[in-house]
Amino acid sequence: MNKLIIEKKPILRIQNLFVSYEKDKYAIADVSVDIKKNIITAIMGPSGCGKSSLLRALNRMHELYPKIETRGKIFLNDKDISKLSNIELRRKIGMVFQSPNPFPSMSIYDNVIAGYKLNGIRQKKAKRDEIVEKSLKDVALWNEVKDALYKKGNFLSGGQQQRLCIARALAFQPDVILLDEPASALDPVSTSKIENLLVKLKKEYTIVLVTHNMAQAARISDYSMFMYLGELIEYGKTKDLFTNPSNKRTEEYLTGKFG
């Protein structure tokens, strides 16, 4: 595995990560990689290559399922994430899922502030309003929903709901946002809105994006990983990876020979 010369300080360091769903069957085998700050890193690869498993290891989602075993170390800003509490870790690393999943029982306002509310973090009303407004403005949803903040979000389109979910993750002001194929359930217009949004957001946040859409990775990511059968095959600047892949399997995948 080739490691690149690092210009920016990495925000996430993954060392010898293994994830297994069954004994001795690894979804991720010995992955070590540094993820740099304030850029978009795309994780690509065919179905079942471990890209989602890698992403979910970053905020310890795996530990909810006792059968899944994780080994290796992950550092966020030089702190071992296994030593952080759930709430600390997930305040710093937010997550957006494949299909939009706003809380159906809550209003748009409550959805954005849900992380604070559900964790019992008290805040003055003015501060809450400020967080909601900023988060919704960050995802370019404010103008569309500002008159319906206290309504339930089920009248929103899929794309709007997904942006609401991104706003919910942003409300915590995380360091890193993990996105698991955030646009795969959306139409092209909504997809391009989300993509533009992510490019804008990288000024403030570090973004890790799982995608099986190679064009999407090429369009918006700065760095790309190519994974295959649980291994990290290639990692580098997206431009280099797409124009001049150093590994044969990367090349084959990118040219559509398999995947």
The Cα diameter of the chain in Å comes to: 56
How far is the C-alpha of 204 from the C-alpha of 229, rounded, in Å?
33
Rule CB under 8 A: is residue 52 a binding residue for other proteins?
Answer: no
Binds other proteins (CB under 8 A): choice among 114, 148, 199, 229: 114
Q: Is 97 in the site for other proteins (CB under 8 A)?
A: yes
**Which one, 32 or 98, has the nearer CB to other proteins?**
98
Q: Residue 3: CB partners within 8 Å, gap ≥ 6?
A: 34, 235
Phi, psi of 69 (to 5 degrees): -115, 135
What are the Cα distances from residue 250, in Å, to 23, 81, 171, 254, 256? 28, 30, 36, 6, 10
To which residue do tokens 């946002």 refer? 177
Q: Is 233 in the site for other proteins (CB under 8 A)?
A: no
Q: Give the count of alpha carbons within 13 A of 255, CB side only.
A: 10
* DSSP per-residue codes, 217-230: HHHH-SEEEEEETT
Least separation, in Å, of the C-beta of 120 and other proteins? Answer: 8
With CB under 8 A as the contact rule, the residue among 22, 80, 88, 130 that binds other proteins is 88
Question: Rule CB under 8 A: is residue 118 a binding residue for other proteins?
Answer: yes
CB of 66 to other proteins, least distance (A): 11
Q: Check binding of 82 to other proteins (CB under 8 A).
A: no
Binding of other proteins at residue 94 (CB under 8 A)?
Answer: yes
Q: Which CB sits closer to other proteins, 60 or 237?
A: 60
Q: Which is nearer to other proteins, 89 or 218 (CB)?
A: 89
185 near other proteins (CB under 8 A): no
The strands making up 69-76's β-sheet, listed across from edge to edge, are 25-36, 10-22, 69-76, 79-80
Residues contributing to the site for other proteins (CB under 8 A): 59, 61, 64, 85-91, 94-95, 97-99, 101-106, 114-115, 117-120, 165, 168-169, 172
